[in-house]
Amino acid sequence: MLDGLSSGEIELVGRKVRLTHTDRIYFPEAGITKGHIIRYYLDISPLLLPHLRDRPLNLERFPEGVGAESFYQKNASAFFPSWLRTFSVDYPRAHKTNRHVLVDDAAGLIYLANLGTITFHAFLSRIDDLTHPDLLILDVDPPDLAGLTREESFKPVVETAFLLREELLALGMAPRVKTTGKRGLHLGVSLDRRSTYNEVRTALTELFTRLSERRPDLMSRAVRKEKRRHRVYLDALRMAMGATVAPPYTVRATAVASISMPVTWEELATLEHSQVYTVANALARVTSVGDLWAPLVTPGA
DNA sequence: GACCGGT
DNA sequence: ACCGGTCAACGCAAT
DNA sequence: ATTGCG
Ligand SMILES: [Mn+2]
Ligand SMILES: [Mn+2]
């Protein structure tokens, strides 16, 4: 484990960012401090930033570490620095507008990490066309966890992911896959932004319904846990306006400080669980394989 | 985590 | 200068 | 209208 960053002011892309409480233990079981998390986000920023750029973000913050109180933050606080860009999103049902933070560079990323942001959650559309997602995420969630180890709950998730891949290949798509860093998997496909969230979600729901009717022993579309029990949950609700997904390389609030990591399909076949990659080993891996999800956020690729 | 008002 | 209190989300769809 | 859910 590399040393974490220390408290004090650092300059990033010409911005001064003050780091505080860097010795605070954020992950007690793994002995990982807030300074370690900030160091990780700085090191991973070249790979992470393209996945955040121009997307409204939600922050999942743990100011006292992962065992303590946490909260989601959509609306930028008044005290956020003026150089941190925001984008206003209307929430008609809630009769309000939230100014979502945007992360353009390492300074913004590290400022928000210093607020105790462990997990960044990103929109699936970009601010220049917010109503049309440019990314399709197929969210494969694990069976009810009671009595299951990470490994046991992950096997049906992997089997489901391969079945979904076959369906998408038959439709002419070549999905990528990544760990979520919790217990599940995400498949990702680029979209051309010709369809709205509702249109994409309707098509996705049809695909999920078809597959779960073919393998009702393995998968379920039921939101209620009691209805799906031991079965994998095919979650189409991620593809909704205002919904967010954990992007590649973000840190998850698990005991081991796992991260969401793109993997090859070949690797997935032998992957034990979704928490293999952590802030402690991610850098070594991406140094050798690069960003397997870069084509999803690289124009023209 | 940071701000604010009261002591 | 140092507290203590306060704030920091939301929509889908099943029921 | 409520609420489980992520
Ligand atoms: Mn998921
Ligand atoms: Mn989900």
ipTM: 0.95
Is the Cα dihedral A98, A103, A108, A113 positive or negative?
positive
Q: What is the pLDDT of residues A81-107, one digit of tens each?
A: 999 999 999 999 999 999 999 999 999
Share of chain A above pLDDT 70, in %: 99
A181 shares a domain with A108 = no
C-alpha distances in angstroms, A267 versus A264, A270, A276, A287?
Answer: 5, 6, 12, 17
Residue A299 — pLDDT band, cuts 50, 70, 90? confident
Of all nucleotides in the shown strands, which has a C1' nearest the CA of A227?
Answer: C14
- pLDDT at A243 (0 to 100): 98
Residues (222-241, chain A) with CB within 7 Å of strand C atoms = 222-224, 227, 236-237, 240-241
Answer yes or no: is A270 within a domain.
no
Q: What is the pLDDT of residues A134-153, one digit of tens each?
A: 999 999 999 988 888 999 99
Answer yes or no: is A169 within a domain.
yes
Counting the structural domains of chain A, the total is 2
Contacts of A46 (CB under 8 A, 6+ apart): none
Q: Name the nearest CA neighbour of A228 among A144, A104, A140.
A: A144
Task: Evaluate if residue A162 carries a pLDDT over 70.
Answer: yes
Q: Is the CB of A68 under 7 A from strand C?
A: no
pTM over 0.90: yes
A165 shares a domain with A96 = no
pLDDT, mean over chain A: 97
Distance A267 CA to ligand 2 centre (A): 23
Contact A251, A44 (CB under 8 A): no
Answer yes or no: is A44 within a domain.
yes
Answer yes or no: is A189 within a domain.
yes
| Strand B, nucleotides covered by protein (CB < 7 Å) | 1-3
| Strand C, nucleotides covered by protein (CB < 7 Å) | 8-15
A161 shares a domain with A33 = no
A107 shares a domain with A142 = no
- pLDDT at A145 (0 to 100): 82
- pLDDT at A287 (0 to 100): 97
Q: What is the pLDDT of residues A23-67, one digit of tens each?
A: 999 999 999 999 999 999 999 999 999 999 999 999 999 999 999
Q: Is the CB of A53 under 7 A from strand B?
A: no
Q: What is the pLDDT of residues A234-283, one digit of tens each?
A: 999 999 999 999 999 999 999 999 999 999 999 999 999 999 999 999 99
| CATH number, position A216 | 3.30.70.3300
- Minimum-distance ligand to the CA of A234? 2
Task: Evaluate if residue A301 carries a pLDDT over 70.
Answer: no
Contact A135, A124 (CB under 8 A): yes
Task: Evaluate if residue A174 carries a pLDDT over 60.
Answer: yes
| Strand D, nucleotides covered by protein (CB < 7 Å) | 4-6
A150 shares a domain with A85 = no
CA angle A84, A87, A90 (to 5 degrees): 145
- pLDDT at A2 (0 to 100): 75
Q: Which residue is nearest to nucleotide C15 (CA to C1')?
A: A224
Contacts of A248 (CB under 8 A, 6+ apart): A47, A48, A51, A178, A260, A261, A262, A291, A293
Contact A113, A35 (CB under 8 A): no
A168 shares a domain with A34 = no
Distance A88 CA to ligand 2 centre (A): 25
- For A150, the domain range is 135-234
Higher pLDDT among residues A300 and A183, named by residue: A183
Task: Evaluate if residue A1 carries a pLDDT over 90.
Answer: no
A250 shares a domain with A226 = no
